[in-house]
Structures are given as C-alpha cells and as structure tokens.
Structure 1
Amino acid sequence: MRPLRYAINVTLDGCVHHEAGVAPDDELMRFWTDQMHNSDAELYGRVTFEMMREAWKRPDDGVWPDRMDAGEQEFADTLDRARKYVVSGTLESVDWNAELVRGDLGDAVRRLKEQPGKGLSVGGLVLSTALTDLGLIDEYIFVVHPIVAGHGPYLLDGLRERVRLEPVSRREFGSGAVAQVYRRADTALLGS
C-alpha cells in the first residue's frame, strides 16, 4: 500500500489560507517540488483543484508568464505533469491530467492507497479534515511560517476527535519557516 500524505503551509496561529503566508522563496519552492516527486499523484477537493489549476496550469500557448522565476516554473512544470484525483460531487468533468473521484470517499481513497507506488499527496482544507476523520492520512507535513495571521481558516478545524501524531523529521529554512513531518501514532507508515 502507498501512504497518503497531507502537506500544507500553516502560520504559527494555525491559519491555512493560501494568502496568509509569505510567497515561497527558492528554497521552499524546491521543497514543495521535491514533495511532488515523492508522490504518484495529487488528491484535491474541488476548491483546491480549481485554485491550483488557475495558478499552476500551463497556459494554452505553452509559455509560463514572465512573473514566474525558475523555481516557480519547475514547480509548475512538475504539478502540471502530475496525475491528479479530484473529489467532487458537483464537477461533471476535469482536465489537467485529472480524474474525478466518485462514490464513498473512504472506499475510493482506500482503493487509491492500495495501488503500488511511492504515495499520494492531499492538499487543501475540507478534504484533508474528512480524510483525517476517516483515519486515512498516514503522514502530515506542515510547513510552519513565522507569521501570525490573526484569522482562519484553521488547520484541520472541525475534526471529530483528537489524533495523536509522532514526530518524524524537522527542517528549518532560511526564511524562518520550519517543515515538521509527523505520522499517525497508531499506525506505521506504509511503503517506507
């Protein structure tokens, strides 16, 4: 079985809104690009999929905007090529190398995890909370930024019950951000 990893940027006060942090520097862009290389596919809910698609899908003319530096282009290239699964009850179809996930969420994600490979990565808010409640996330990667946002949305807000995690690793970045990796305390990480 391949592991499911939840990876997200978060402020010191738990805010996970994509505009609450600072724009990633080259070091953080490399980190996030490497995270995608460690997964076979990205798993998104509709809102996160549409946000990521708008920001990172290769333009129709095939040329990345001048505003993107080399690190952002590498990240965008990697994400653009990545296989994606989208959990949505409202979308009729998806593009951008994506496939809709239908039916019972737990059953569908268990089937994805049962496939061989390096792992799956989930991002966003609502889907990650639902998958945590179902006990399906094996590893959590939180990049904590030295910012207090003073507002939400908040990391895993609304969980039905507490989840015990064990620290796996920690990495400090020049920007002051810290990547903290945890796994569920009640399960061994699959595929490692």
Structure 2
Amino acid sequence: MRTLRYSINVTLDGCCHHEAGLPPDEESMRYWTDEMEQADALLFGRVTYEMMEAAWRKPVTGTWPDWMSEWEVPFAEAIDRSQKHVVSSTLTAVDWNAELTRGELGPAVRRLKQEPGELLWVGGVKLPLALADLGLIDEYEFVVQPVLAGHGPTLLAGLRERIELELVHRREFRSGAAALRFRPRSTSE
C-alpha cells in the first residue's frame, strides 16, 4: 500500500499560507524537487490544484516564464509531469496530467493508496485536514521556516482529535529552516 505523505511549508507560528513569507530558496527548492520526484502521484483539493497549476504548469510556448529562477525549473518540471488526483465536488474536468477523484473521500483515498507504487503526496490545507481526521495520513512532512507570520491559516486548524507523532527524519537548511518528517505513533505504544 502506498504511503500518503502530507507535505507543506509552515512558519514557526504554524501559518501555512504561501504568502506568509514562505518563499523557497535554492536549497529548499532542491529538497522539494527531490521529494516531488519520489512521489508516484500527487493529491490536491481544487484550490491547491488551481494554485499549483497557475504557478507550475509549463506554458504552451514550452518556455518557462521570466520570473522563474533557473533553480526553480527542476521543481516546475517535476510537478508538471507528475500524475495528479484532484478531489473536488465543483470541478467538472481537469487536465495537466490530472484526474478527478469523486465520491466519498475516505473510500476514494483508500483506493488511491492501494494502487501500485510507494508514495502518494498531498499538499494544501483543507484536504489534508479532512484526511488527518479520517486517519489516512501516514506521514507528515513540514519544512518549518524561521518566520513568524502572525496571521493567516494555520496548520491543521480544527483537527478533531490530537495526533501523537514520532520524528522519523530531520534535515536543517542554511537558511535556518528545518524539514521534519513524522509518523503517527502507534496506538499500542
């Protein structure tokens, strides 16, 4: 069964909004590129899918936009070619190597986890909260940025029950950011 990993940038005070001072640097972008390339498929809600598509879909011209740094291109290429599953009750169609995931969330995601492969990667805010409440996330990966946002949506706000985690991976960046990966603790511990 594929591992479902929730990955996101977050500030020290828990803000997970992409405009809260979380711009990637070259080192963290290489990290995210490596992580993206390990995933068999990506799972997004509508908002995250549309945001990622607007930022990272290769233009029809075949040339990446001028605003994109050279060190961002490998990430853009990795996400552009990735298989994507989009959970949405409002979209009627998707493209960009994507397919709609319909029906009840729990059974639909369990089916995706049972498909061949190693890693299903989920990003965003609302969808991961619902998946965490259903106990479907196998790993939580946060790149904690040395920033205090003071406002904005916070990580997993509204989680129904506390989830005990154990640290399974840690990497520190020159910027002061740290990538932390956790797994839920077994209920038998």
TM-score range, shorter chain: over 0.9
Structure 2: distance between partners of 1:21 and 1:10? 10
Shift, 1:156, TM fit: 0.3
Shift, 1:160, TM fit: 0.7
Aligned twin of 1:178:
178
Aligned twin of 2:60:
60
| TM-score normalised per structure 1 | 0.95
Aligned twin of 1:163:
163
1:154-177 deviations in Å (ceiling 9; x for gaps): 000001110111110111001110
1:52 partner SS:
helix
Q: Which residue identity lines up with residue 181 of structure 1 in the other structure?
A: R
Q: Is the 8 A contact 1:14 1:152 kept in 2?
A: no
Aligned twin of 1:190:
none
Shift, 1:152, TM fit: 2.1
Which blocks of at least 5 consecutive residues in structure 2 are unaligned? none
1:22/1:104 CA distance change after superposition, 3 Å: closer
Shift, 1:45, TM fit: 0.2
Which blocks of at least 5 consecutive residues in structure 1 are unaligned? 188-192
Aligned twin of 1:85:
85
Shift, 1:4, TM fit: 0.1
Q: Which residue identity lines up with residue 115 of structure 2 in the other structure?
A: Q
Q: Is the 8 A contact 2:48 2:123 kept in 1?
A: yes
Shift, 1:88, TM fit: 0.1
**Counterpart check, 1:134 vs 2:126:** no
Task: Give the count of matched residue pairs.
Answer: 187
1:61-101 deviations in Å (ceiling 9; x for gaps): 11001221222111001100000000000000001000000
Aligned twin of 2:95:
95
Structure 2: distance between partners of 1:95 and 1:77? 16
Written as runs of structure 1 = structure 2, the 5 A alignment for 1:1-80 is 1-80=1-80
Q: Is the 8 A contact 2:58 2:80 kept in 1?
A: yes
Q: Is the 8 A contact 1:82 1:97 kept in 2?
A: yes
Shift, 1:60, TM fit: 1.2
Q: Which residue identity lines up with residue 177 of structure 2 in the other structure?
A: A
Aligned twin of 2:110:
110
Structure 1: distance between partners of 2:64 and 2:138? 34
Q: Give the superposed CA RMSD.
A: 0.9
Q: Which residue identity lines up with residue 156 of structure 1 in the other structure?
A: L
Structure 1: distance between partners of 2:154 and 2:135? 19
Structure 2: distance between partners of 1:116 and 1:93? 24
Structure 1: distance between partners of 2:22 and 2:130? 27
Structure 1: distance between partners of 2:107 and 2:178? 34
Q: Which runs of 4+ in 1 moved over 3 A?
A: none
Q: Which residue identity lines up with residue 98 of structure 1 in the other structure?
A: A
Q: Which residue identity lines up with residue 123 of structure 1 in the other structure?
A: G
1:112 partner SS:
helix
Shift, 1:21, TM fit: 2.5
